[in-house]
Structure 1
């Protein structure tokens, strides 16, 4: 790009930001921009058409052109454009075309949809509109034909259309410049399309083999007709045609999900008897994919399922596995399924590991590494692995570990929406203080600019309604400035404020309280409610307040047109809040790292309040890793929603942590949590002079992730025929399959082999007692055997005797046994935010919370009756009840059932149902069944379950779904009044 035009674009961009942020007037040095807009526009048009003749134009230049044209098509009035002879439709077309030529098709579609549809469907302009905007119904014969030919795989016909357009362009010269301009653009668009369209990129793309996938991609909204450059790079790099393992580093939003869908379709269609698995780290991501990827695979005739319930697979998760071709699962769920269903495990020939950088994520990372090692060492042929992450600089090492080669690494820096960075810089103190916004501080000097007085005293001055005097809201804190900055960004689109912590004044909750406090005063800053969709909020507000109470900070945030989003909020509620953001019903979200956990939300701007975490018991905060910050800021600017994103660092003292990300630094290498834990174990044993033993491994919670992962891996290898010495030798060899073994020092590597050996001998010792079969069939943890035998089994005289699932004695026995495990006590103490010496005080309160949870009481009822802070209650629910306690109970009761079966007895139904009714907080069988059948809202399945259970005579539950649906419809007014509009509508969908 010409330097003079680059300066012009930079100055216009500065002026645009000033207007966005409601500055009263432009600085003198920028005043000339408004007086020469027609010259600026002509220069942009000249650059656009000059670029069409250039063989290589960098995508960033095309994106700058597209955004520059947007200033005319979106931000100027008809009078301003008319006075200068500029057509809004032309500016929009030029913007969209520039984005398309730069390989930003999602931005091109977004921009074109802002334009009015041409009146004449036979015109060249209508062809451009339909080609770029991809509306649900195409009116242009040209674009409709291109779409049909793409679906049918008729690439020759598309090529003929290119030749015809060249002739049409030549004729257009005689008709006038306006017609020629559109004809030239349409020819350029089709020429680019011929290189990037789905069929052109896929191997043997014209083959009918691809038709179901192509139709699925084209027919969805937003419609996909071509691949992104990152996807093209992977496909051309052999991802589909090469049988070797691959590793891919692609930025957030670069199309990983669509690429994985393409790979799954290719692999499963080419191998009709095999299974493919997509590993995702979080339940939230699995839940999102259940409604998108899994649904689409099923529609293409590839039976797919999600599994993310727990470590012991539920009946629904293992039922009919012989028919399943694709599974989206969390590592812990897949591990349980592999142990319980070895035949299914043998059918797996492709494993896609998404968000693979989480190998470094404590217990979750250890479990993931050992699961991959387990599958890698499978008897016969190991499956093919595809390791995917946005932020692993040493991806070659991991690829080599998983069996890949130097030729099977794909690295892409492509982002479908560009990102800008800025930092708040306070100047002065007291009432004279100002905060300026430094834009692009990491870029070349000609790209940098500063918005002085971005915030100052005037931003926080208001008239006191009682005294009518001018008051100033204190704005010295970074928190106040971060919230105010986010408010100023609201006119630009959806804005997120990120905090590294959930709790306390320095966390997301503190930010939400700061927002509420600011909005209590009439500050001259944009208010979130002014950018919310009024009709969408009342049902959500009613739902949130009914569940958590009006006083909860999350309820207050929604009432003010904002969303509080973090990991302690139950999944059903997070999905409601995410829908508000996704549907643009609210524009402000306050969040933690849940934003970076794979859930795709349309964030335009991101304010980083803090990128340092405060850990309990530590004085100094802990800086986030650069790669985690990179994953987070990748959420700013989403394909098809924004053409660019903005990231503001609110704390200038933390800009040094963000700078390497802004400058596209590599970030920290991923080594895996297993290697770290083995080194810590080695040092501990050396300091204490202790010898490693199974008693130690099963008695220290810190090493449980290693013990559980090793046991699951070894169980796959053991058989009735293998002798102890041979099995131990295999186990030691298996230790070499881990990523850790490639990195450890010799003595530490020997320690890892010793761990495998000790666990192998432990498993061999279970074979004569039959307990090995119990563990294998249930997917339970080996280390739980002793606890169940010595603690749970003798706690009741007859586990087979009939008992009500809500019986106080039964629940107390199970909870008392679970409380003997340190991990539960630790989770409870964390939830209550108390020290270890308060365990006996916390215990009865926790037991009472569980009792009320299982009775079906809502969070607000439990909180009010027990006088528990709602944030504490949610933390207890998420960490202690639905994870730690749930895992212990499902493990313990599954082993208990197998012990009874060994004696020819059967566990009482009330006991066997305890696990699921604890999981769902369901007070009866009917409520539990409705939850298992997919009713997402607890308030609905509890109320419906109670209504069904109270009928006389007791109803047949085989058709409970239809009965519940009929009851909702027949008594709509009563159910709407009780459930609220949101839950009522969602429940009808769930029961459909």
Structure 2
């Protein structure tokens, strides 16, 4: 029997290309089951499960797992018909204490409360926080105290450094940029002569050195993450390179290192032995962290089988010390809500948000919108949505509705429309005559959105599906094209635009002899269809293209940052221009080029008419190079064998003179040079050493 472990995006991609696979599935386990309302991924997740419910055999067992879903009965009934809910909210296998920093006197203390009733004090630990003077830097005036009473981040860092002799530490930050700041602060106070012990003193010295080396080779010596890694302080967030993240997780799990500064990425299925979880903020950007996400996060502290107890510490003293102040007690009330798992938000469907009214910039003014009129404007007139945005902005300008905000809200709804179009296309040719009206209604009624909606929204959802199905039927009459579109994971307009580009550039695509040439040819298509995140914020597009070329050649992230600074490129942020940092570079490459870029290339592969298959194979190799940021088939194959770091695979290929392009042949080469292979990987973190041992068995 085979076990496949995949993301929702990967599984839906596989099933679109090999639908017969679904019939062989005997058990489906959906982890992080509360993710139905987590942005665009939530829509993918919901529509994937909707598809699977139609595709898999009736006897297939379906298990959905989540730390906290308050409406588990409803979700279970949608998924399985007869819900069988295993409730584990009250089953905590280890003791978990909750403490708050209080700093009303010269020395700070930690006040511990009942984890289920924060108003009930349990005990306190006095005299645990004391500020001290740091050394001055050149030309600096006055003294510098650490930690500062009003700085929750520096207090969190102080507590982490003070408690690390007792066990592993995770400092939770609401934003990736905050994690980088804390790493910078850590290096700063260490360089200024902090008397506190270093996490590296309680870690495996060799592993710290290996991890620090891997950071430098990927991110450069000036990166805050690289500098803090040398002291045993590691970062873990969405912009941490994939290989580094795996290596840090493995080192933490095996008690080789003890200190990590993280965002909520640590809560997503990472099983680490955290003794102290120190919370710097309960906000992620401007939004308070959800109760269910918070409990998923604190589940990392005191993991069963790893610790007998864990502690959650809130580092901001204002939370506890101002809890009775009429003006500031809102912080205390927010934390009390977070600590009670019964306040967990219900699992909803993001698909239903398409019917939500528009909001002013500050969220206080509501603008009703007829979604079906919006959809008609989108599908009938290419400029219809822009005209509608201008009209709404003009009409409601006095209520604080900017065009930028309205366009962002429209863009979200368009993403939902495209997801539904793609979903309908993937089911279109199940019967000889395509989708009938009854089939479309059946698909709409199969969604979680329909199951959770009231009568009015149920009707609207069916109308929406029918309207989009009619548009597909009218615009794409060729069944072969429909099938191709159904595999592309795009909405109709984008799919047609990509098809038009392929047709216009067919001769050029078929004449390519080196897959590296594809980037120059396909670049305008990437620019047009990648419209999210940091990718769109370069003020110099030619610098972005230079980075993409370097990514394909396997250059490290630090080289790209040098290019940005040398070419004086800036990040557009509204009317401002900001400096790029190394985290932004990682996001461009691993976050955008590797996923969105590879998706565009996949769509091109579907549309290219290639009798020999040679050019499609070249495009597919280019797609993999874009996905991994690697220069050759050999490096790609080694990466896919588990050496998931670009620096390491290129070093191993060069030092061991590997030449095979198939995984099985690479394993043979490694076994023939067993001693050299083990020696070559010794300088890298333990995670990669163990991957090598597994291959050589």
Secondary structure of 2:126's partner?
Answer: strand
Equivalent pairs, count: 632
8 A contact 2:109–2:128 mirrored in 1:
yes
After superposition, the Cα gap between the structure-2 partners of 1:604 and 1:696, relative to the gap in structure 1 and judged at 3 Å, is: farther
Partner of 1:578 in structure 2? 249
Question: What is the deviation of 1:687?
Answer: 8.7
After superposition, the Cα gap between the structure-2 partners of 1:948 and 1:915, relative to the gap in structure 1 and judged at 3 Å, is: farther
Question: What is the deviation of 1:763?
Answer: 4.5
After superposition, the Cα gap between the structure-2 partners of 1:629 and 1:803, relative to the gap in structure 1 and judged at 3 Å, is: same
Partner of 2:535 in structure 1? 828
Q: Give the distance between the partners of 2:471 and 2:155, measured in 1 at CA.
A: 58
Partner of 1:856 in structure 2? 554
Aligned: 1:364 with 2:41: yes
Question: What is the deviation of 1:562?
Answer: 1.3
String of CA shifts for 1:359-389, please: whole Å, max 9, x gaps. 1201111111112222223487374432221
Partner of 2:484 in structure 1? 774
Partner of 1:692 in structure 2? 376
Q: Give the distance between the partners of 1:447 and 1:798, measured in 2 at CA.
A: 72
Q: Give the distance between the partners of 2:618 and 2:54, measured in 1 at CA.
A: 40
Question: What is the deviation of 1:815?
Answer: 1.7
Secondary structure of 2:206's partner?
Answer: coil
Partner of 2:523 in structure 1? 815
Mean Cα deviation higher: 647-656 or 957-966: 957-966
Aligned: 1:895 with 2:606: yes
Question: What is the deviation of 1:555?
Answer: 1.0
Residue of structure 1 aligned with 2:205, choices 521, 534, 545 = 534
8 A contact 1:424–1:438 mirrored in 2:
yes
String of CA shifts for 1:303-337, please: whole Å, max 9, x gaps. 22xxxxxxxxxxxxxxxxxxxxxx22211111122
Q: Give the distance between the partners of 1:328 and 1:764, measured in 2 at CA.
A: 35
Residue of structure 2 aligned with 1:521, choices 175, 178, 192 = 192
After superposition, the Cα gap between the structure-2 partners of 1:797 and 1:492, relative to the gap in structure 1 and judged at 3 Å, is: same
Question: What is the deviation of 1:529?
Answer: 2.4
After superposition, the Cα gap between the structure-2 partners of 1:900 and 1:678, relative to the gap in structure 1 and judged at 3 Å, is: farther
After superposition, the Cα gap between the structure-2 partners of 1:640 and 1:849, relative to the gap in structure 1 and judged at 3 Å, is: same
Q: Give the distance between the partners of 2:415 and 2:99, measured in 1 at CA.
A: 41
String of CA shifts for 1:240-286, please: whole Å, max 9, x gaps. xxxxxxxxxxxxxxxxxxxxxxxxxxxxxxxxxxxxxxxxxxxxxxx
Partner of 2:128 in structure 1? 454
Q: Give the distance between the partners of 2:381 and 2:351, measured in 1 at CA.
A: 15
Q: Give the distance between the partners of 1:479 and 1:862, measured in 2 at CA.
A: 30
String of CA shifts for 1:391-423, please: whole Å, max 9, x gaps. 111111111222343665544421221110011
Partner of 2:595 in structure 1? 883
String of CA shifts for 1:29-58, please: whole Å, max 9, x gaps. xxxxxxxxxxxxxxxxxxxxxxxxxxxxxx
Q: Give the distance between the partners of 1:740 and 1:342, measured in 2 at CA.
A: 24
Question: What is the deviation of 1:738?
Answer: 1.6
Q: Give the distance between the partners of 2:17 and 2:199, measured in 1 at CA.
A: 50
Residue of structure 2 aligned with 1:731, choices 429, 440, 443 = 440
Q: Give the distance between the partners of 1:803 and 1:405, measured in 2 at CA.
A: 57
8 A contact 1:497–1:591 mirrored in 2:
yes
8 A contact 1:494–1:587 mirrored in 2:
yes
Aligned: 1:962 with 2:668: yes
Residue of structure 2 aligned with 1:622, choices 264, 277, 287 = 287
Q: Give the distance between the partners of 2:118 and 2:411, measured in 1 at CA.
A: 51
8 A contact 1:396–1:409 mirrored in 2:
no
After superposition, the Cα gap between the structure-2 partners of 1:588 and 1:889, relative to the gap in structure 1 and judged at 3 Å, is: same
Q: Give the distance between the partners of 1:788 and 1:566, measured in 2 at CA.
A: 33
Question: What is the deviation of 1:600?
Answer: 0.5
Partner of 1:46 in structure 2? none
Structure 2: runs of 5 or more not aligned: 320-330, 359-365, 386-409, 566-579
Question: What is the deviation of 1:727?
Answer: 1.6
8 A contact 2:133–2:143 mirrored in 1:
yes
Aligned: 1:499 with 2:210: no
Aligned: 1:419 with 2:96: yes
- The structure with higher relative contact order (CA 8 Å, sep 6+) is 2
Q: Give the distance between the partners of 2:658 and 2:257, measured in 1 at CA.
A: 40
Structure 1: runs of 5 or more not aligned: 1-301, 305-326, 615-620
Secondary structure of 1:645's partner?
Answer: strand
Partner of 1:872 in structure 2? 584
Q: Give the distance between the partners of 1:486 and 1:956, measured in 2 at CA.
A: 46
After superposition, the Cα gap between the structure-2 partners of 1:471 and 1:704, relative to the gap in structure 1 and judged at 3 Å, is: closer
Question: What is the deviation of 1:493?
Answer: 0.7
Q: Give the distance between the partners of 2:281 and 2:479, measured in 1 at CA.
A: 55
Residue of structure 2 aligned with 1:937, choices 631, 645, 649 = 645
Residue of structure 1 aligned with 2:420, choices 710, 715, 734 = 710
Question: What is the deviation of 1:733?
Answer: 2.5
Mean Cα deviation higher: 875-884 or 494-503: 875-884
8 A contact 1:419–1:636 mirrored in 2:
yes
Question: What is the deviation of 1:649?
Answer: 0.9
8 A contact 1:495–1:588 mirrored in 2:
yes
After superposition, the Cα gap between the structure-2 partners of 1:859 and 1:964, relative to the gap in structure 1 and judged at 3 Å, is: farther
Question: What is the deviation of 1:731?
Answer: 0.6
Question: What is the deviation of 1:660?
Answer: 2.9
Q: Give the distance between the partners of 1:561 and 1:551, measured in 2 at CA.
A: 16
Q: Give the distance between the partners of 1:768 and 1:462, measured in 2 at CA.
A: 72
Q: Give the distance between the partners of 1:820 and 1:465, measured in 2 at CA.
A: 48
Question: What is the deviation of 1:685?
Answer: 4.2
Partner of 1:39 in structure 2? none
8 A contact 2:250–2:687 mirrored in 1:
no
Residue of structure 2 aligned with 1:435, choices 88, 92, 108 = 108
Q: Give the distance between the partners of 2:455 and 2:480, measured in 1 at CA.
A: 36
Secondary structure of 2:64's partner?
Answer: strand
Partner of 1:611 in structure 2? 282
Q: Give the distance between the partners of 2:276 and 2:662, measured in 1 at CA.
A: 53
Secondary structure of 1:422's partner?
Answer: strand
Aligned: 1:919 with 2:627: yes
Partner of 1:786 in structure 2? 496
Partner of 1:634 in structure 2? 299
Partner of 1:547 in structure 2? 218
Give the root-mean-square deviation of aligned CA atoms.
3.5
Q: Give the distance between the partners of 1:938 and 1:822, measured in 2 at CA.
A: 23
Secondary structure of 1:439's partner?
Answer: strand
Partner of 1:475 in structure 2? 148
Q: Give the distance between the partners of 2:306 and 2:28, measured in 1 at CA.
A: 31
Residue of structure 2 aligned with 1:758, choices 449, 462, 467 = 467
Question: What is the deviation of 1:758?
Answer: 3.2
